[in-house]
Chain A
Amino acid sequence: MELQAVLMAAGGGSRMTDLTYNTPKPMLPVGNKPLMWYPLNLLERVGFEEVIVITTKEVQKMMSTDPKMKVDVKMKLDVVCIQEDGDMGTADALRHIQQKIKTDILVMSCDLITDVALHEVVDLFRAHNATLAMLMSKAHEFTETVPGQKGKKKTAEQRDFVGVDQSGKRLLFMANEADLEDGLSVRKSIMRKHPRMHIKTGLVDAHLYCLKKAVVDFLTENKSISSIRGELVPYLVRKQFSKTTDSPKMKDDAEDQTQKKNDSSTNHELLISSRDEPLLQLAQERSCWNDHHGDMSEAYHGGKLRCYVHIMDQGLCYRVNTLAAFIEANRLAPKLFEEPAVHPSAVISERCQMGSDSIIGALCQVADKTSIKRSTIGNSTTVKEKVKVTNSIIMHGVTIEEGCNIQGSVICSNAVIGRGADLKYCLVGNGQRIEPEAERTNEVIVGTDQLMEI
């Protein structure tokens, strides 16, 4: 077996609590499909047959009842439940399932919606025998107005600095702005080996990683690493250029020795030790290929640890972890699949005006004289007469009484909008009731029990 897929679906959605306090993030509907369906669909399309899904008990329950998951996903899902409140990072989760991992792994996050050609990432991993291969994408500006956002969008202060080499494939440097207190410092060893480095900031990490099995073994040894993105990846990128001791040199200084041993042991763990290493070496020696030119060193500068990145500049790649991303994803996700916009079981009266870019879910009832434009309507929703829905996202089980006007809003599941209500750029939480003739603009309406206790 070449690769095992691991889907991380235990995240809490901490950046969009308004949406996730009732529905766990992996099951949020995007284009009337649960969010987790998208990465699973991607894996299924490229040919995976089994996926290990790490999630919480709640999500597992919801998964088994959700029709979409049961019908559309043909792969075998091996669900591993972890404690929801336990502070388990992604790397901790990997450590948890270490027994199941037999080969190299492909780790994905449940909130990734993309149409990337996955072979581009995996080919980098295969061809260069890399330790890590990841996917990044040029960030798109979100153009939709986000309900409940007051004032201008805060400028991104937590930028990621990603350094790649001349070809744009080899990952040389990765740091978050938060970790760089006094400026960005680049090691001389990197500059000597790669004199030209492109540092990019406008990139979105798709949280899709191909990791060698040796990395998982390394994680079991080093329990201090708890997050893949936050700690493991920068560690691996740094380790590419650290001094390796290939032969245990006897040093006089005992301290030095133990330190070097520690270093070398960690390196040896990370190093790919295949059984026919001398043959591979021979092939590489005889091959007249080098990944860089101009200096006296061999291919890859003799380094065994290599990290690669594939940067997508075209195509969809969204991480749905903020409300703005959620809204954007709802707009664009339908492009990823060719299902009919209107579910066959929906009951739509003839005098309803429906735009072609709207999606109606199953078992919906849409009455006369309604106008639905650029919106997504979830399953089992009832829309009464004379309702105007524009640019909105309406989740499952919502009831919209007559004469409502909903614009640019997000209505969560099981909400009830009273007749004649006028909502502009609002976010209505789960199970909320909006009283009739209400007029709300740019508000977040959630229940009092969801508010934080001070």
Chain B
Amino acid sequence: MADSGVTEGPDKKEEIDRAKSEGKELTKEEKQRLRKEKKQQKKNKEKKDDKASQESEKEKKPLSSPPPASQPPPQSTTQKAPSAVPAPAPVSVPASEAPVPADKPAKSKAELKAERRARQEAERASKQGKKGETGQQAATSKQKAPPNELQPVVKRLPEHIQVDNPDVLKKLAKKLERQQTPGQVADKQIPLRMDYGYKVSLFSHLHQYSRKAPLTQQVSIPSTVIHPAVVRLGLQYSQGIVTGSNARSVALLHAFKQVIRDYTTPPNEELSRDLVNKLKPYISFLNQCRPLSASMGNAIKYIKKEISNIPSQCKEEEAKSKLLNCIECYINEKIILAAKAIAKSAIEKISDGDVILIYGCSSLVNHILCEAFEKSRKFRVIVVDSRPRLEGREALRRLVQKGISCTYVLISAVSYVLPEVSKVFLGAHALLANGYVMSRVGTSQIALVAKAFNVPVLVCCETYKFCERVQTDSFVSNELDDPDDLIVTRKGKTHLKDWQEVPSLGLLNLVYDVTPPDFVDLVITDLGLGMIPCTSVPVVLRVKNVDQ
């Protein structure tokens, strides 16, 4: 039993990898199997019998999966990218990687050989893929290919989740150097923002910046390299004056409008190509001030597309006014009208006597509630808030100003308050392609507790926030805010003032988390779709891509 298990081991892994690369959502059994596999890798050789029983379970798998004839070619292709393959495994995975080398002496020789072979293939493949992954836990890759195609996709990891890899950082610095606006002196370039403070090890692959060290320190004061509107925007992002997905997108488009207005095509250049190149350094600058949101990414994609679609014989003035018009239309359609449409659908779901729970400050949810109140629905609202941002206070202010009766609690009281809640309305930062909802940290907890109490959870999200990323946990791709925000002064004492001097202390200020679709009952969105289940997001994305 053990021997067969040994030889089958690497095969099973590759099967599962292949299934993953095909984009099929892992079924529950497969997920469980993965989890079990990792767990047994953690445990010592004493649990060999468990492993054996699992192997027997796994043996059934090759019978049910596609014919073995197709195994060799897909195997070779999957072997190319096993390290880059998304391993959206639960938290135990990063921890399990560490004990794996420790387990080595306990395993048998043949198994060791097989593992070594697999690891060598993995390293070779990753070197081919131009990303060094030396035994560190892989991050998700952006699956650009549609899920159905079975391609040998070499997935590249984005740099913003590889901060602890010094090679990647060096590459980023070089890229910023190269990205200076054309025609500029060599020493004027987009500055690189330094990370600040000790990062908790689970999140050491992400950037962590300090609000007290703004990027403008390194930019000349009458900023010539970067358009002043963009500098102002970057400053407003990093200081938190413009927060919230919609606000950031609108402010970004506003800044781009000013850039386009002040733009003049240099001689011998085409507007459609040159303007896009001009925008690249601005976007890297904004990215350094604060990592771009999914909605901003989509807006940028749209603008770039519009710019490249400008015919070359178009005069500059005409082209510029066309672009400005496009931006106006985009904002109008995707944000303002979308909000109206969503409000219309959502109001149907609000009945008299409802107790609605909201979390944090989502501009869309606030809009919906205000509209519902104007349409004379009788309801009351419970606003749940969390530190350190305490955005719920702003939501509370806006609702109370309208005249809605509100209750305010902190997130620790959610389970106390939920028995009296009839619906939960949540806003979203982005909706991922596998149906997960990415939103402010704490949202997944609210959804979880609401599920436990059988309270319906409705997520309101415009379609321009749907993004093609896939993520199943909040570790891989997230944003770390300034850790000093967690420091409070109560009664004159600041206990965490010297947190940097305590070597074993790390402050973690997460911004986003992902909620699985099992906890979300409905997504209310625009584009005539009304209410869709969470898992229909890839369908919407596909339809949108076909339309465009």
Residues of B within 8 A of A289 (CB): 240-243, 394
Cβ-closest 3 pairs across A and B: A47-B220, A288-B361, A287-B247
Give the docked Cα–Cα distance between A128 and B397 (Å). 21
Give the docked Cα–Cα distance between A396 and B251 (Å). 56
Give the docked Cα–Cα distance between A354 and B489 (Å). 51
Mark each residue of chain A from 96 to 119: 1 if its CB lies under 8 Å from any CB of chain B, else 0. 000000000010000000000111
Question: Is B397's CB under 8 angstroms from A279's CB?
Answer: no
**Closest residue on chain B to residue A128 by CB atoms:** B241
Residues of A within 8 A of B395 (CB): 288
Question: Is B232's CB under 8 angstroms from A287's CB?
Answer: no
Pick the interface stretch among B110-118, B196-204, B253-261: B253-261
B526-541: which residues lie under 8 A (CB-CB) from chain A? Answer: none
B216-255: which residues lie under 8 A (CB-CB) from chain A? Answer: 216-217, 219-224, 228, 231-232, 235-236, 239-244, 246-248, 250-251, 253-254
A2, A49, A284: most-surrounded residue (chain B CB, <10 A): A2
A257-290: which residues lie under 8 A (CB-CB) from chain B? Answer: 275-276, 279-280, 282-290
Among A46, A123, A276, which residue has its beta carbon within 8 angstroms of that of B220?
A46
Instruction: Decide yes or no: A276 and B258 within 8 Å by CB, A1-B222, A288-B395, A296-B401 being known contacts.
Output: yes
| A3-B222, A129-B232, A287-B247 known, 9 other contacts, Cβ within 8 Å | A48-B222, A119-B219, A282-B331, A283-B254, A286-B363, A287-B248, A287-B363, A289-B240, A290-B393
> Would you call A392 an interface residue if the criterion is a C-beta within 8 Å of the partner chain's C-beta atoms?
no
**Closest residue on chain B to residue A290 by CB atoms:** B394
Instruction: Decide yes or no: A288 and B391 within 8 Å by CB, A118-B221, A279-B257, A296-B401 being known contacts.
Output: yes
Using a CB–CB cutoff of 8 Å, the interface residues on chain A facing chain B are 1-5, 46-49, 106, 117-119, 122-123, 126-129, 275-276, 279-280, 282-290, 293, 296
Question: Is B217's CB under 8 angstroms from A288's CB?
Answer: no
Among B253, B261, B400, which residue has its beta carbon within 8 angstroms of that of A279?
B253
> Would you call B214 an interface residue if the criterion is a C-beta within 8 Å of the partner chain's C-beta atoms?
yes
Residues of B within 8 A of A286 (CB): 244, 246-247, 250, 363
**Closest residue on chain A to residue B252 by CB atoms:** A283
Residues of B within 8 A of A1 (CB): 222, 224, 228
Q: Show 7 residue pairs from A and B whose CB-CB distance is below 8 angstroms, ordered by the A residue.
A: A2-B223, A119-B221, A282-B331, A286-B247, A287-B251, A288-B360, A288-B394
**How many pairs of A and B residues are in contact by the CB < 8 Å rule?**
108
Residues of A within 8 A of B394 (CB): 288-290
Question: Is B228's CB under 8 angstroms from A288's CB?
Answer: no
Give the docked Cα–Cα distance between A289 and B241 (Å). 6
- The minimal Cβ–Cβ distance linking B333 to chain A, given in whole angstroms, is 14
Question: Is A127's CB under 8 angstroms from B222's CB?
Answer: no
- Would you call the interface of chain B mostly helix, strand, loop, or mixed? helix
B324-368: which residues lie under 8 A (CB-CB) from chain A? Answer: 331, 335-336, 360-361, 363
B295-309: which residues lie under 8 A (CB-CB) from chain A? Answer: none
Question: Is B254's CB under 8 angstroms from A2's CB?
Answer: no
Give the docked Cα–Cα distance between A129 and B393 (Å). 24
Give the docked Cα–Cα distance between A289 and B395 (Å). 10
Give the docked Cα–Cα distance between A47 and B220 (Å). 5
Residues of B within 8 A of A48 (CB): 220-222
- The minimal Cβ–Cβ distance linking B331 to chain A, given in whole angstroms, is 7
Instruction: Decide yes or no: A47 and B235 within 8 Å by CB, A119-B216, A290-B394 being known contacts.
Output: no
Residues of B within 8 A of A127 (CB): 232, 235-236, 239, 241
**Closest residue on chain A to residue B400 by CB atoms:** A296
Give the docked Cα–Cα distance between A122 and B217 (Å). 10
Give the docked Cα–Cα distance between A193 and B250 (Å). 28
Question: Is B214's CB under 8 angstroms from A287's CB?
Answer: no
Give the docked Cα–Cα distance between A290 and B395 (Å). 11
Instruction: Decide yes or no: A46 and B221 within 8 Å by CB, A279-B254, A279-B331, A280-B254 being known contacts.
Output: yes
- The minimal Cβ–Cβ distance linking A294 to chain B, given in whole angstroms, is 9
Give the docked Cα–Cα distance between A47 and B188 (Å). 10
Question: Is B250's CB under 8 angstroms from A126's CB?
Answer: no
Question: Is B222's CB under 8 angstroms from A4's CB?
Answer: yes
Residues of A within 8 A of B216 (CB): 119, 122-123, 126
**Closest residue on chain A to residue B397 by CB atoms:** A296
Residues of A within 8 A of B228 (CB): 1-2, 126
Residues of B within 8 A of A276 (CB): 254, 257-258
Residues of A within 8 A of B239 (CB): 127
Give the docked Cα–Cα distance between A280 and B232 (Å). 12
Residues of A within 8 A of B217 (CB): 117, 119
Question: Is A123's CB under 8 angstroms from B214's CB?
Answer: yes
Residues of A within 8 A of B261 (CB): 275
Question: Is B235's CB under 8 angstroms from A287's CB?
Answer: no
Give the docked Cα–Cα distance between A290 and B391 (Å). 9
Give the docked Cα–Cα distance between A288 and B241 (Å). 8
Residues of B within 8 A of A123 (CB): 214, 216, 235
- The minimal Cβ–Cβ distance linking B220 to chain A, given in whole angstroms, is 2
- The minimal Cβ–Cβ distance linking B256 to chain A, given in whole angstroms, is 11
Question: Is B222's CB under 8 angstroms from A126's CB?
Answer: no
B415-452: which residues lie under 8 A (CB-CB) from chain A? Answer: none
Residues of A within 8 A of B222 (CB): 1-5, 47-49
Give the docked Cα–Cα distance between A279 and B229 (Å). 13
